[in-house]
Amino acid sequence: MSATIGVLALQGDVREHLDALSACGVRAVPVRRERELHAVDGLVLPGGESTTMSKLLDVFEMYEPVRTAIRDGLPAYGSCAGMILLASQILDTRPDATHLDALDITVRRNAFGRQVESFEADLEFTGVADDDDPLRAVFIRAPWVESVGPDVQVLATMPEGPAAGRIVAVRHDDVLATSFHPEVTGDLRVHQYFVDIVTGRRTREGRAS
């Protein structure tokens, strides 16, 4: 039986992530309620508006269930706003915004500028893309990672320009986050990387993949 991966379907690029995951050969489902969360093997937190998403987590009574599930080992992947939600500390955000404290990272919200300053860049991404076959990444009002804890692996940094060296992809155990939006490019490598994390977890737990 193949893995089932949910996409938190409160706001943001839900359909795009569902399509990308389905193209990777897994069952992809929207998640809005706690009972739906308990039925998935992994969870994607999509790009969108992080403060709106944090409020909707409370409205749908999903903040504690999601936080607890990830803390208890549910693999999770956050893109852009999803990265912000997963972080342990957020700079330049609203005082009433909440976060899941699932990754020991400090992120700066909207670090790359406003919507009109969105851009694309070619990245090397550990385990996914290298200099011979880089990953085309789309940044839309994106955060970057200011600092990481000692156990967090840096997977990608900006290669050039004013933001050269800024961290844009990280992983700790089965939690993955990117500043950019792989769901909008048609390149499935980041989603496949997360699918591999999920299926690896299932294998370790003795479930069929």
Catalytic residue chosen out of the listed positions 17, 99, 181, 191? 181
**146 catalytic residue (yes or no):** no
Q: Which two three-digit tokens encode residue 190? A: 């980041």
Phi and psi at residue 43, in whole multiples of 5°? -140, 130
Asked whether the CA dihedral 133, 138, 144, 148 is positive or negative, the reply is negative
Using CA atoms, how far apart are residues 109 and 97, in angstroms rounded to an integer? 12
Using CA atoms, how far apart are residues 77 and 179, in angstroms rounded to an integer? 11
Catalytic residue chosen out of the listed positions 16, 17, 80, 191? 80
| Tokens 């489902």 belong to residue | 29
**205 catalytic residue (yes or no):** no
Return the closest-CA partner of residue 107 out of 40, 14, 10, 179: 179
Phi and psi at residue 171, in whole multiples of 5°? -150, 140
Catalytic residue chosen out of the listed positions 16, 24, 183, 191? 183
Question: How many CB atoms sit inside 10 A of residue 148's CB?
Answer: 17
**24 catalytic residue (yes or no):** no
The residues carrying an active-site annotation are 80, 181, 183
